[in-house]
Amino acid sequence: MTGGLVGLLIGSLLLFASIIAGLLSARVGAPLLLTFLGLGMLAGEDGPGGIVFNNFELSFLIGNAALAIIFFDGGLRTPYQTLRAAWAPALSLATLGTLITAGIVAAGAHWLFHLKPLPAFLMGAIVAATDAPAMFMMLGRHGVSLRDRLRATLEVESGSNDPMGIFLTMACVALIKAGGAGADWSVLGEFVLQMGIGLLMGWLGGSTLAQLTNRLELAAGLYPILALALCLLTFSSTALIGGSGYLAIYVAGAVYGNQRVRARTLTCRFFDGLMWLAQIVMFLLLGLLVSPHLLADQGWLALGIAAVLIFVARPVAVAVALLPFGFSVREQLFASWVGLRGAVPIFLALVPALAGIDSSHIYFNVAFVVVLVSLALQGWTAPWMARRLGVALAPSPEAADKLEFDMLHQTDRDLVAYTVKPHSRAADHVFARLQIPERARLVSVIRDGTVISTTELERLNAGDVVLVLTPPELALAVDRVFSRRHKSPAAFANRVHGDFMVDGATLVDGLARAYDIPIRAPVPGMTVNGYLKERIGPSAGRGDRLRVGPVELIVVDTLGDEIKEVGLLIHSEDQPDSPWPGPLRPLIERWRHRLRREPR
């Protein structure tokens, strides 16, 4: 009994230390997951903590549960709009890109470690999966947001390439155990079957969870527990019948998260906390498992694998996988650089050890070094790279300060409490002229603790609390009313957003006459919004660009499927548009202009 209490004490201290270390790491810009991993190493047998932990079976079990929670949370926060905009390029990256990455890393492993083809490909499969949430966490801490289409593609890729990496790893282990027998086209059939079962079970799991949530009368605090139970049930049952449990749980989260259900806000907050707990526990355990003194034998070779992965495999995979989808070279370069590796490669490196594969410690050591290098090098430089390549959006207006309340799922309205910010539309306009959508209703205004009658209200003041009933599809439009605006158009316009801006509803012909731009609308009366949708595609989002002679049109702001503001960037000979200095610029520019989306 005493031993159990000591273990509980150590675990709670490690969790507390992880949170404090995370706060400190934010001040120096260190990747948060790298901090958790380092803390685990410090607590391990080679660190001051001296904890000897080598239970691979327990780590694998906890890792499975943690990844299930992380995948469900990722799906829960993925709107259908993101999936529609990015499913094709993300699927290409998750399948073809993962295969190419594994193959090139396998070639490096064959040359560096003198491994046979199948064990070498196993090493490539283990490190092939990316961890975009870790990268977005790092970008968010530095106030960097990406172009909509690029962000959506990387998000969906990270949710769908892990199942691919896991399948390849399991298939390689099975083939190695069988002496290479069965390495034929049946493997492809097994992959299709696993993914198909995963998609079906994910849809069933998410739909069932939504139905149960809306039908069962439970205490409010039990709805998140119900979601957790169905989450783990979907994952485990799918895996037991031969499907991809990770794909199933991601799809279940997306299906559930895009429906109106009871206690949705409470469930999202619950899983947000669980996701953080899962990340911390996984990286602490993986840090405890590693023995730095055992890395000496393969340290330099493992660094070689990391170099092959970061500088060769990922760039080639991105270039090939995204070639048909019209991404600019800048976007491809950024996607190549931020192929961040997280806990999944180290977790997958446990599989050869559990399966009894010879020299399994090599896979674990290499995966650990690859993740360490990736988090330190790519994680630390991702914000700088986003700004340098021009794929980061200019700083957005400060988001609306709001608190959402769960309503009955039968209603088609959400209740949201907004705090009025200075320099917002709500504070700068006369109350009667506020452009609140017709189907949204302002219910009440609270000022200094007193409810103010809306019939007598002339103007909202900064600090007022406003209760609004709004349909979910109009939430973004209402947010715009209460978010802080830029103080002047000049402060908003820059080399990212353009030299000046126009409304998306502006007629193309009028824009061409006013600014002498060589642009012609395909049909009379076409707006800039319609023109960009036709030329770039219906999924055009913030940061997308279209070059028209010396002028570049930049999507600055969107509302739903509509482009609201467009920046105009004037190019000139003394104002080059290249991030590449010196003698490399002419060569890079030739390739850049070949691949970027130019008008036909």
- Specify the residue for token string 């609140």: 436
Q: What is the pLDDT of residue 319?
A: 94
pLDDT at position 183 is 57
SS3 category, 79 = coil
Give domain limits for the chain.
Answer: 58-389, 401-482, 489-595
Taking the chain (600 residues) in runs of 10, the rounded mean pLDDT of each run is: 73 83 67 79 80 83 89 86 82 92 95 91 91 67 76 82 87 83 67 90 94 89 92 93 90 90 86 89 85 74 93 95 88 89 85 85 89 87 85 67 68 80 75 76 83 79 85 76 58 54 84 78 85 83 81 80 80 50 48 41
DSSP 51: B
Same fold, 58-389 and 489-595: no
> Spelled out in words, what is the top-level CATH class assigned to the domain 401-482?
alpha beta
| pLDDT for the residue numbered 592 | 44
Q: Decide if 186 contacts 196 (C-beta within 8 A).
A: no
In the chain, the largest separation of any two C-alpha atoms, in whole Å, equals 83
The reported pLDDT for the residue numbered 446 is: 86
Residue 467, H or E segment: strand 465-470
CB contact set of 284 (below 8 Å; sequence gap of 6+): 14, 18, 36, 39, 40, 43
Cβ density class 412-444: b for 16+ within 10 Å, e for less:
ebbebbbbbbeebbbbeeeeeebebbeebebee
- Provide the 8-state DSSP code for 505: T
pLDDT tens digits, 529-588: 888 888 887 778 878 888 887 788 888 877 767 888 888 877 654 444 444 444 445 544
List all residues 6 or more positions away from 373 whose beta carbon is below 8 Å from its beta carbon.
Answer: 303, 306, 310
pLDDT of res. 58? 86
d(CA 428, CA 413): 26
Check residue 555 and give its pLDDT.
86
Q: Give CA–CA dist 370/16, Å, rounded.
A: 27
According to CATH, what is the number of the domain 489-595? 3.30.465.10
431 membership: H or E segment, kind and range: none
- The pLDDT of residue 231 is 92
Which CATH number, 3.30.360.10, 3.40.980.10, 1.20.1530.20, 3.40.50.12780, labels domain 58-389? 1.20.1530.20
- pTM exceeds 0.75 for this model: yes
3-state secondary structure 322-376: CHHHCCCHHHHHHHHHCCCCCHHHHHHCHHHHHHCCCCHHHHHHHHHHHHHHHHH
Q: Are 201 and 234 in contact (CB under 8 A)?
A: yes
From the list 301, 302, 322, 347, the residue with the least C-alpha distance to 70 is: 347
pLDDT attached to residue 184: 58
Token pair listed for 380 = 């630390």
Rounded Cα–Cα distance for residues 318 and 336 (Å): 6
For the chain, the residue count is: 600
pLDDT tens digits along 481-537: 787 655 444 444 444 566 677 888 888 888 887 777 778 888 888 888 888 888 887
pLDDT at 576: 47
Query: How far is 424 from 78, CA to CA, in rounded Å?
Result: 28
